[in-house]
Amino acid sequence: MKFFPPALFILFLMACGGAEHAHIPTDSVTISRSKDVIADEDEYEKAYGLDDLDRYVYKEYGYDSTRFKLIPTKSTITSQSDESDHVQYTAEFNNKDYQLKFIWSGTEDGDSSASQLFVNNKPVKFYDPGTNNEATGPGELDFGVDVQMGLYSWPSRNYLLVSGQARGAQGRFRSILYGILVNVSTNPMRAYVISTYEDPGDFYLKMNNHQQLTYLSCTPELGESGTVDSLHPHLEIIEK
């Protein structure tokens, strides 16, 4: 699996080197956020123990878990190969209301390149979550079958979220949780690729008072022992 992660993971991956760990112990969290999502507001930091992360998420960030509904999903991956060992993979995530089909091509060893996304048989284009400009593609992202599908609902907008680890991810890349987020309320629909560290393992999507969609993307910081000493949740904005 090859995938260029968001910039916020680059320093982490450089620090990690070639170490192989499926799970990294975490014993504290550092919260960095702004008073609001407006760019010119002063920023400040607060530090909590992991037991207090929920307090930050629900009390200060204001996450409303009732907006999210987990959808029972059937996942299948099929492949077709040719004589040159190139493979076209098709991943489908289905329930009674939504069908998400993700098509990519690659090789048997896991290297791949995403090509097409369909929701309910309609093609969906990808957009950069930071700029909202149309993206040239979602990058080389390929999900395995162990994924979770859910729906975030607000009165004016609904978002379909499929999240999981990348297929064939090795070493520290296995500690990254990816998500394909689709605004199913727009015509045409819009898709974004987002990511976070495996702990806390959630994006915590929220519609703020400015009708901006926000989420938390965590990056880990390594201590001298090679374990994660702190997490840094970043407040990100989609569809400003």
One digit per residue, the tens of pLDDT, for the chain of length 240 reads 334 344 444 334 433 433 333 333 444 455 544 333 333 333 334 555 555 667 778 888 888 999 999 888 777 777 777 666 677 778 788 878 888 888 877 665 555 565 688 999 999 999 988 888 888 665 556 666 577 889 999 998 999 998 887 766 666 667 788 888 999 999 999 999 898 887 666 899 999 888 889 998 877 776 676 666 667 778 888 876
| Residues spanned by the domain of 131 | 7-16+28-35+42-238
Residue 73 lies in a domain: yes
Residue 22 lies in a domain: no
Residues 67, 64: Cα–Cα separation, whole Å: 6
CA distances from 159 to 138, 139, 140, 153 (A): 17, 21, 22, 7
The identity of residue 189, as a single letter, is M
Question: Phi and psi (nearest 5°) for 100?
Answer: -110, 125
Residue 55 lies in a domain: yes
pLDDT of residue 227: 67
| Number of separate domains in the chain | 1
CA distances from 227 to 9, 21, 170, 215, 236 (A): 16, 10, 17, 25, 25
Residue 1 lies in a domain: no
Residue 23 lies in a domain: no
The answer to whether residues 105 and 112 touch, using CB atoms and an 8 Å cutoff, is yes
Residue 215 lies in a domain: yes
pLDDT of residue 161: 92
Instruction: Quote the pTM value.
Output: 0.74
